[in-house]
Amino acid sequence: MADELGDADIAMDRTGLYREETFTDRRVGTLQRLTPVTPSGDTDTTRPVLYVGQTQVLTPAGALPLSFEVRPCRSTTRSRSSATWPEKRSRVRCAASRRCAASSVLDYRPGSAHPADLRGAG
């Protein structure tokens, strides 16, 4: 068994390095910011920053770990009142996306409403 591990070709990809920062509310979950870096440790501005969320959902079978990519909303340096229509639309879409992600865990226990029942008559 030890010989098999010695023969393995294990090496890190020097072109795919990230600096990892973790943020948490210490209740619901964590958010990781993965900032791309060069082999020398400098920030690599040619690659995008990645965000990954992690949480757990309690099920009858036990805790179910969830990991998901979070797409950041573009921020603007101008005040909200001077934002153009596309910027306002993007902000509304980002808020809707956050609401959708927050409500993606559905309750299917007996007696709970099924998602099809919540749509109403079409």
Q: What is the pLDDT of residues 39-94, one digit of tens each?
A: 999 999 999 999 999 999 888 888 899 999 988 776 644 444 445 555 555 666 66
Q: Is the pLDDT of residue 18 over 90?
A: yes
Q: Show Cβ contacts of residue 30 under 8 Å, excluding neighbours closer than 6 positions.
A: 22, 23, 24, 53, 54, 55
For residue 64, with 0-12 CB atoms within 10 Å meaning exposed, 13-18 middle and 19 or more buried, which class applies?
exposed
Q: Are 35 and 43 in contact (CB under 8 A)?
A: yes
Q: What is the pTM of this model?
A: 0.53
Q: Average pLDDT in the 27-42 region?
A: 93
Q: Is the pLDDT of residue 35 over 50?
A: yes
